[in-house]
Amino acid sequence: MGESNEEKTFVELIQPECFNLKVINAIKTNPVNCDLHSICSNYYKLTEKLGDEELIKIVQEMLKERCILINDYATSSKGNNFNNDAVFNFLHGLDEAEKRIYKATYESHKDTKKWFASDS
């Protein structure tokens, strides 16, 4: 009868390793250099499912910074320069959501260039 809420807990969630303090500090320090794909290939989706508001804010800021480079590489010849280690490592480290953003940006830029080049 006198049990506390802690004693009544049926399920305790263990936070995944991809959200440990070391990873979060790396994200805060330099989000562009984080290899999200090796940490968790669906990092953004897992963050959303976890529902931690503070973590979501940190990850949103990371996405904003990374999207600047995603856009840059998808819309310029830099993105096609896979001989450049920095470009290769960044693009290889994209999580699945970022890969979809890269592809959509690349396709949109390509279609826009075709449209501008058309005589219509």
Q: What is the pLDDT of residues 52-69, one digit of tens each?
A: 899 999 999 999 999 999
Average pLDDT for residues 15-43, to the nearest whole number? Answer: 94
The three-point CA angle 72-38-97 to 5° equals 50
Q: Is the pTM of this model over 0.85?
A: no
Distance CA 98, CA 79 (A): 14
Tell me how far CA of residue 88 lies from CA of 19, 39, 43, 81, 104, in angstroms. 25, 17, 20, 8, 18
The per-residue b/e assignment along 50-77, b for 16 or more CB within 10 angstroms, e otherwise, is: eeeeebeebbeebbeebeebbbebbbee
Indicate the average pLDDT of the chain. 87
Contact 96, 40 (CB under 8 A): no
Query: What are the domain boundaries of the chain?
Result: 47-111
Is the pLDDT at 94 greater than 90? The verdict is: yes
Instruction: Pick 114 or 2 by higher pLDDT.
Output: 114
Per-residue pLDDT at 1: 47
- pLDDT average, residue stretch 11-21: 84
pLDDT of 79 higher than 90: no
**Minimum mean pLDDT among 8-22, 42-56, 94-108: which range?**
8-22
